[in-house]
Amino acid sequence: MGDFVGVDPENLKELTRRLERLHDMLARQGPAIQQKMQKWGSELSFASLSRLIAAALDDVRDMDARTTRAYELARQQGWNVMTGAPSVLGPVFARPPVVRLDWEATGQSGDQGRRDAEALAAALAAKNPEEARTALAPLAERLECHLADKDYQEAFWAGAGPLASQAARMLYNRTGPTLFGAETVSILRALGASLAAASRMRVGAGKESRPLLSTAARDAITRGSDPWSAGMLAKYGPDGRSWDPRLLADLTRTMLDARAAGRAIWPPDRGEPETGTAATRRQRLMAEFDAVGAVLQRAAENGIAARHVLGDPATGPKYARMLVSDSWHTPGFDPGAFLSSYVHPGGALPLAGRMDLSTPVGAFLKAAVSAERGTSLDAKESAWSVVHIVQATAAFAKLHPQTVLPHQIRQALTYTAERYLPDFAKSVGHDFSSQPLPKENDPANPWTVVVKSSELETMIAEALRTPEEFGRFKGILNARVAIAVAATIKDPSDADYLHEVAGLYGLVQRLQNERHFIDEQLRDEEETRNQTAFAILTGGFGALSFKNTWGPGTIAQFLTGSFGPLASESFDTDHALRALKDNDDAFRKQVLQIEVPVVQGLIGAGALHPPEHVTWYTNGRLTPNAEFVEWLSAHAETSYGGRTLLEWIRAAQEAMRVQQ
């Protein structure tokens, strides 16, 4: 043992903070100082700077360990941070006594991590939540200092896993207007950040490499007895991209299973509400601190985690059915309990106060189908996710034929259809099986989706409910004609992509006809359709790109990767249509139906080269005007890509079911 010295824990804590600030300054400014000195021709050597910065960090950790040990010794002597004082109402802060400390104690990260895990255990074992919060405040600071320290993280989470997953329930405010105070939030935020950092770390090298978090530590988080408390670590932790996808996927499955089993996923009850206002406030509290929604949001931000969950062929269908549902709301309450017998003479009243919880669900469903199209495992899981979402929607519609899904979930279904539109077009008329396959069963080609036509029809019927929604989707189909034309020319096979688009367009049109919209609604649909198609084709939203040269083998990648959903769910295209203000409605309707996408597709395929200096084609964008109409008439019999322009237009008109 080394020499024992008398130290004041408070002074030692201040010294530690000053060393931390010194190290932070050196770490941030050191490289800039070195660069400037070299720029000015300084002969000073900075070879040792990196070693000095590392040594400063070791000094900080050593002093932090001594500070922690000093407070432990003070508590062993009977010191308590909050104590009573004569003539003072309530507890006051008590300064710790001077203690005799072994100065040879150093801040080995593993030792510090184990000590902090023990401190967490001691704090959460306290009967008084206020004392626990006060004791854990220094822990939050240390966790933030050790986010990148593997030794510390491994030791801390080996002992803290079961405790951290219960921290929120042990620390929540039992009184007051909010569930968590600022101090509790800082603790949960630090625990969440530490867990997220540890989840992405690995130790060892080569074949010996393994996740830093042990299986026991991961299970304590993802399979613990308190899913709500574990969900709060995700809520207050960092953005989902900072987490390990596998950990988030496991936590998502746990949350969905807990919800399905009726386990505690809501904040702890504060007793039965005595008024309708209190009951409504309770519903808002449940929505704000919904553990399932918090985890779904983090998994959606991560993306890969969402695809791990829904893209699993074995378990994905089960979780897709849980997500595609109309049950995403708080349970509500019986208003009859708060009414007098005169106002409420008896009988059941509809539940009141329900809060919508579908926003993170919609984000999760979108993330599950958003992998970059290609041959990767991520693309495969995304394709499986599409299959499972389509099947889950069909199953929901069969069980609840009169029920409308929440708006956010319907938007996710439309997003899925837009992203996999070529796959769905090819699936029309196919009613045998649903599965992802490499295009043409060639492993070198991107993963594509084949779904049953009957299930696809049900999904689109569930997704599109209003005239504007039908119009927007049909506008995207109109714009897709450009790709269909180009692909038909460039694909070395005899594939007729216009025919495939025709089938999907006909399916959508038939579903719209079955809605029996009135004339005024149909005019709204037509305007939305035209605006959407025009906005895409004029390049205003970057949805179409023909910049890359095509060649053998690239057609599959073009069909699956070149056209994505519009970036905005509620974009403004009025400015685009105002460009046609000098033309009458008949001209606008004619041009926006099919001619523009056909010509754009021929240009994209390289079969048609617009004349120089025309006013209707600049910088890769086709903007129809009167000169464009004259050009169409003059070149109707000119052959492009094996057909005359008129034949292409007539084929496209048939494909898009204009007569229908």
Residues 155, 158, 163, 167, CA torsion sign: positive
Q: What are the structure tokens assigned to 191, written together?
A: 């625990």
What is the helix, strand, coil percentage profile of the chain, to 5? 60, 5, 35
Say if CB 147 and CB 193 are below 8 A apart. yes
Alpha helices per DSSP H over 420-566: 421-427, 453-463, 467-490, 497-515, 519-537, 555-561
Backbone angles phi, psi at 253, to 5 degrees: -60, -45
Kind and range of the H or E run holding 102: strand 99-102
Q: How confident is the model over 78-110, as pLDDT tens digits?
A: 887 655 444 444 455 678 888 887 766 555 677
**What is the pLDDT, as a whole number, of residue 556?**
54
Per-residue pLDDT, 574: 39
The neighbouring-strand residues paired with 356 are 329
- Would you say the C-alpha torsion 578, 583, 586, 590 has a positive or negative sign? negative
pLDDT digits (tens, 9 = 90+) for 358-412: 999 999 999 999 998 888 999 999 999 999 999 999 999 999 999 999 999 999 9
The amino acid occupying position 7 is: V
Nearest one of 474, 472, 366, 344 to 410, comparing CA atoms: 366
Q: Which pLDDT belongs to residue 198?
A: 94
Q: What contacts 249, CB < 8 A, 6 or more positions away?
A: 299, 305, 306, 308, 309
The pLDDT, as a whole number, for residue 504 is 86
pLDDT at position 96, please? 86
pLDDT at 658: 37
Q: Are 422 and 375 in contact (CB under 8 A)?
A: no
Positive or negative, the CA dihedral 606, 611, 614, 619 is positive
User: What's phi and psi for 449, nearest 5 deg?
Assistant: -115, 135
Residue 511 has, within 13 A of its CA and on its CB side, a CA count of: 24
Between CA 396 and CA 126 the distance in angstroms is 47
Which positions of the chain have pLDDT values less than 50? 1, 84-90, 540-554, 557, 561-592, 658-660
pLDDT of residue 517: 80
**Amino acid 157: pLDDT:** 92
Q: What 3-state DSSP class applies to 209?
A: coil
Q: How far from 441 is each of 105, 276, 311, 379, 559, CA to CA, in Å?
A: 64, 60, 19, 15, 16
Contacts of 39 (CB under 8 A, 6+ apart): none
Residue whose C-alpha is closest to residue 192's, from 240, 225, 150, 149: 240
Instruction: Say how far apart CA 376 and CA 470 lie, in whole Å.
Output: 33
Residue-level pLDDT at 367: 97
Q: Which residues contact 161 (CB under 8 A, 6 or more apart)?
A: 216, 217, 218, 219, 220, 221
**For 186, what's the count of Cα atoms within 13 Å in the CB-facing half-sphere?**
14
Beta bridge partners of 5: 101
Task: Give me the count of residues in the chain.
Answer: 660
